[in-house]
Amino acid sequence: MSAQHNELRVGMIGYAFMGAAHSQAWRTVNRVYDLPSRVRMAAVCGRDEAQVAQAADRLGWESHTTDWRALVARDDIDVIDICTPGDSHAEIAIAALAAGKHVLCEKPLANTVAEAEQMTAAAESARASGVRSMCGFNYRRVPAVTLMRQLVDAGRIGTIRHIRAVYLQDWIVDPEFPLVWRLQKDKAGSGSLGDIGAHIIDATQYVTGQRITTVSGLTETFVTHRPLPAGSSGLTAAAGGGGADGGEPATGEVTVDDAALFMARLDGGAIANYEATRFATGRKNGLRIEINGSLGSVAFDFERMNELEFYDATRPGVEQGFSRIIVTEPDHPYLSAWWPPGHGIGYEHSFTHEVRDFVEAVATGIDPTPSFADALQVQRVLDAVERSAGVGQWTTVESALTTDQV
């Protein structure tokens, strides 16, 4: 950190969907929250010179580069923000931590448990020198989800018995949708399971304080081959694919799941069912979590992200029923810095809250959450679901390297 100006100088690697979301957060955070350090958006990195130059101008970065290793080595960079596909997370994060840079890494932490273990070990080693790291599970930072955790922590729903969580999208329902990187296991690690299932795994563990221990999973790929994107020379066309001679377009194999479903047991005694799919026709970003307890229930639906549904079973029978909590009050999590009560916030605010917590932790010398160890545990759940789906039986989630709390 620059002592002279108390700046936190950020270098971001990747500038597409997540890069844009993170950039908005870095631009906004000091204009909304009073923090001990001021963010400086020093540089953004991408592979294409022209495109990364345009991204730097559009997203508000001072400079740009096509060499992430040079960015990591720079003395005028304090934080590395990783917004790349999962196949590069481990290499970048480990190099950045070794160089003494604080690291914010998008989820899922890695493509494999082995990579996530290496990243966690590097984070633990760097932590001894005051270097901080965090994985970007942004749905934790939706105020209604944080309030959900507070209600559970306060015992308002009693003993947790049943968890339901779904994440439903439909953006690849069309079989002519191209074979983008998210549909290739070597780049993405897994499909709907890791891309969106990781979010509901982390969110439910965060809200309940319980961790998944055993799973019984099912995965399915509905469209096994898709057209190759324009300019995708690095992809291997399917046998018999055309394109070059003006025939049928070349296709490539989809190597990830389109949908993943699993049941689970958690270490606090709760049972759960999870569903993650990108084939729920008509659903755009349908994330929903419901926690049922002995004294009540609480539910969150991202399509109504400024609300919670709360059922208090201790009230008289004539008064019972789900109530609607509008999560816009200044006393609600994160909202004191935003708008007057009743004025809702949006998806992008969850990233601003994520960056706020990260900056505050780095500036004050505390460990941000979720840690790499927390994210490793999520990676172990993803791995257990895949193994379970492969053998068709209940599978134990391997123990994590540390006992860090969710």
Distance CA 39, CA 35 (A): 9
Residue with tokens 């005694």: 269
pLDDT in tens, 80-129: 999 999 999 999 999 999 999 999 999 999 999 999 999 999 999 999 99
Rounded CA separation 366/327 (Å): 28
Tokens 């563990």: give the residue. 205
pLDDT, one tens digit per residue, over 372-389 is 999 999 999 999 999 999
Please tell me whether residue 111 adopts helix, strand or coil conformation: coil
386 Cα distance to chain centroid: 19
Measured on CA atoms in the order 336, 337, 340, 342, is the torsion positive or negative?
negative
Q: Is the pLDDT of residue 400 over 80?
A: no
| Domains 7-139 and 140-221+256-391 fall in the same CATH topology | no
Domain ranges of the chain: 7-139, 140-221+256-391
Residues 331-350: what's their mean pLDDT?
A: 97
What is the tens place of the pLDDT at every residue in 235-261?
544 433 455 455 567 999 999 999 999
Q: Which residue has the higher pLDDT, 58 or 3?
A: 58
DSSP 44-79: EE-S-HHHHHHHHHHHT-SEEES-HHHHHH-TT--E
CATH 3.30.360.10 fits 140-221+256-391, yes or no: yes
CB 79 within 8 A of CB 362: yes
Domain at 7-139, CATH from 3.90.380.10, 3.20.20.70, 3.40.50.720, 2.40.110.10? 3.40.50.720
End-to-end CA separation in angstroms for the chain: 28
How many Å apart are CA 18 and CA 180, to the nearest integer?
A: 15
Q: What's the average model confidence in pLDDT over 71-75?
A: 98
| Cβ–Cβ under 8 Å, residues 339 and 32 | no
Which DSSP symbol is given to 194?
Answer: I
**Interval 200-207 mean pLDDT:** 98
Q: Considering just the CA atoms, what is the radius of gyration of the chain in Å?
A: 22
